[in-house]
């Protein structure tokens, strides 16, 4: 009996373990299981406290459970070929795509029992939101501002989703807008837009062609201007080159001329130095010759002076001897004759001394020439007196010293001198005797 009881017990435990393993459930990480049992709801899954439970059949009393499986992954909800109207009641169709995920599994489980049921409810929410928003706008605006309406859809749906424990993952996309069956509204709009685009394209093409033509003309002009500028620059450079070559040639010629000038100036300087040297030599020679001539003339003058003095002294001595010889005839006549003879001698001596003392040699020569001229005049006067049968006794060294001219004999001055001479002779014994003899002879 014990053995039998042990076997039964083991069989019961094995059956219990088998049954437990058959009904044990491990919730995957991308899902959540909402388990309802005995009026209590428990969620199992990742981050739910536990992810394992026993799924007893719901017909079992007290331990039986009812399970709602909801995905935790992102799921999509689409509106395909959904008919809508714009503000002007123009019909069209559109496609809308949205992505959701379950944020509160317990609240979602209160609203739905299956995922298909949730999909249907979300589609209904999206249809209502899309119809309400699109009915307030024109079809052109809907076609041209899809991003704007996507944001409006998302905001409106997002305000309603917390009641289902669901939240959007991204913005609800307005995928496509097209004409409804047998409708041509969007086609006409597209044709209009196409014509506008074609017009703008043709205008743009024409403008581009015009701009291209203008650009080509400007490019041709620029090329021509550039070519002309290049030719001008080449001409200018060539002219500058020729100018520089000419200037360089002129500078070279000028440099040669300047060098020739420098050489000529140097040659002139050399010649001038040579000529100055020769002139200095000639000047020195002339100075030496002049000094020598001056010295010779001074010596001659001294000799003439000495000769004159000697002659004067000789004449004086002769006069003195004659006076002494004739002293017997009368001391008075001798003294008078001595005075008469000494006067011109003294004059000549004084004149010679003054001439000799003058520093200017030229003046001395003039004086000498004057003396020579006077001497020549005296000689001629003496010759004239010879033919005039007039006897003149001159006691001076030259005839001019005795009498200057024949006019002195007949002039007042000559008469006074003659009278003075006669008075002087008469006052001397000898002269008185001579005058008496002359007078006696004339009477006889």
Per-residue pLDDT of 258-291, as tens digits, reads 777 777 777 777 677 677 667 677 776 777 666 7
Residue 2 tokens read as 């014990």
Q: Which long-range contacts (CB under 8 A, 24 or more apart) does 336-339 make?
A: 336/421, 336/424, 336/425, 336/427, 336/428, 336/431, 337/395
Q: Please, what sign has the CA dihedral across residues 384, 386, 390, 392?
A: positive
3-state SS record for the chain: CHHHHHHHHHHHHHHHHHHHHHHEEECCCCEEEEEEECCEEEEEECCCCCCEEECCCCCCCCCCCEEEEEECCCEEEEEEEEEEECCCCCEEEEEEEEEEEECCHHHHHHHCCCHHHHHHHHHHHHHHHHHHHHCCCCHHHHHHCHHHHHHHHHHHHHHHHHHHCEEECCCCEEEEEEECCCCCHHHHHHHHHHHHHHHHHHHHHHHHHHHHHHHHHHHHHHHHHHHHHHHHHHHHHHHHHHHHHHHHHHHHHHHHHHHHHHHHHHHHHHHHHHHHHHHHHHHHHHHHHHHHHHHHHHHHHHHHHHHHHHHHHHHHHHHHHHHHHCCCCCHHHHHHHHHHHHHHHHHHHHHHHHHHHCCCHHHHHHHHHHHHHHHHHHHHHHHHHHHCCCCCCCCCCCHHHHCCCCHHHHCHHHHHHHHHHHHHHHHCHHHHHHHHHHHHHHHC
Phi, psi (5° rounding) for residue 93?
A: -120, 155
User: What confidence score (pLDDT) does residue 71 get?
Assistant: 76
Question: Where in the chain are the domains?
Answer: 20-69, 74-182, 326-443
User: What confidence score (pLDDT) does residue 442 get?
Assistant: 47
Classify domain 74-182 at the CATH superfamily level.
Band 7 domain (3.30.479.30)
By C-alpha distance, which of 44, 161, 13, 155 is closest to 106?
44
pTM of the model: 0.38
Highest-pLDDT range among 196-200, 396-400, 416-420: 196-200
| Torsion region of 392: left, alpha or beta (phi above 0 gives left; psi -120 to 50 gives alpha) | beta
Asked whether the predicted pLDDT for residue 395 surpasses 60, the reply is no
Asked whether the predicted pLDDT for residue 96 surpasses 70, the reply is yes
Give the pLDDT mean for 366-393. Answer: 66
Q: Which residue has the higher pLDDT, 125 or 111?
A: 125
Q: Please, what sign has the CA dihedral across residues 68, 71, 72, 76?
A: negative
| Rounded (10°) CA dihedral 194, 198, 199, 205 | 160
Q: Which residue has the higher pLDDT, 136 or 18?
A: 136
User: What confidence score (pLDDT) does residue 444 get?
Assistant: 36
User: What confidence score (pLDDT) does residue 427 get?
Assistant: 81
**Residue 33 banded pLDDT, cuts 50, 70, 90:** confident
By C-alpha distance, which of 59, 57, 61, 3 is closest to 25?
57
Asked whether the predicted pLDDT for residue 398 surpasses 60, the reply is no
2-11, 85-94, 331-340: least confidently modelled range: 331-340
What whole-number percentage of the chain has pLDDT above 70? 71
167 contacts 101 by C-beta, under 8 angstroms: yes
Give the pLDDT mean for 188-204. Answer: 82
Per-residue pLDDT of 160-181, as tens digits, reads 888 888 888 888 888 888 888 8
Asked whether the predicted pLDDT for residue 443 surpasses 50, the reply is no
Residue 351 tokens read as 């004149």
């Amino acid at each position: 009996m014990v053995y039998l009881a042990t076997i039964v017990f083991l069989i019961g435990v094995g059956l219990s373990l088998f049954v437990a393993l058959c009904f044990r459930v491990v919730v995957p990480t991308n899902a959540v299981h909402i388990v309802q049992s005995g009026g209590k709801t428990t969620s199992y899954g990742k981050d739910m406290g536990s992810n394992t439970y026993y799924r007893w059949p719901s017909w079992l009393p007290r331990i039986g459970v009812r399970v709602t499986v909801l995905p935790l992954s992102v799921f999509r909800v689409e509106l395909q070929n959904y008919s809508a109207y714009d503000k002007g009641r123009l019909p069209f169709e559109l496609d809308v795509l949205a992505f959701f995920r379950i944020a509160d599994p317990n609240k979602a489980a209160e609203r739905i029992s299956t995922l298909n049921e949730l999909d249907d409810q979300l589609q209904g929410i999206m249809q209502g939101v899309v119809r309400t928003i699109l009915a307030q706008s024109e079809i052109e605006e809907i076609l041209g501002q899809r991003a704007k309406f996507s944001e409006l859809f998302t905001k409106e749906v997002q305000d309603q989703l917390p009641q289902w424990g669901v939240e959007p993952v991204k913005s609800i996309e307005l995928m496509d807008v097209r004409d409804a069956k047998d409708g041509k509204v969007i086609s006409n709009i597209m044709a209009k837009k196409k014509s506008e685009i074609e017009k703008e394209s043709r205008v743009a093409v024409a403008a581009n062609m015009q701009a291209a033509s203008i650009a080509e003309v400007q490019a041709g002009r620029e090329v021509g201007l550039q070519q002309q500028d290049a030719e001008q620059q080449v001409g200018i450079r060539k002219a500058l080159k020729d100018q520089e070559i000419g200037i360089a040639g002129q500078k070279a010629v000028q440099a040669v001329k300047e060098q020739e000038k420098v050489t000529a100036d140097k040659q002139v300087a050399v010649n001038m130095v040579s000529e100055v040297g020769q002139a200095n030599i000639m000047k020195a020679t002339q100075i030496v010759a002049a000094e020598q001539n001056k010295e010779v003339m001074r010596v001659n003058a001294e000799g003439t002076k000495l000769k004159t003095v000697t002659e004067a002294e000789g004449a004086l001595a002769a006069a003195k001897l004659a006076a002494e010889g004739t002293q017997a005839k009368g001391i008075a006549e001798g003294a008078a004759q001595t005075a008469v003879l000494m006067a011109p001698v003294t004059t000549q001596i004084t004149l010679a001394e003054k001439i000799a003392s003058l520093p200017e040699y030229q003046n001395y020569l003039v004086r000498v020439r004057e003396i020579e001229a006077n001497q020549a005049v005296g000689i001629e006067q003496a010759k004239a007196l010879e033919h005039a049968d007039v006897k003149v006794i001159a006691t001076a060294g030259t005839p001019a010293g005795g009498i200057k001219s024949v006019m002195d004999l007949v002039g007042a001055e000559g008469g006074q001198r003659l009278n003075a001479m006669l008075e002087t002779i008469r006052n001397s014994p000898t002269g008185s005797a001579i005058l008496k003899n002359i007078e006696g002879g004339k009477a006889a």
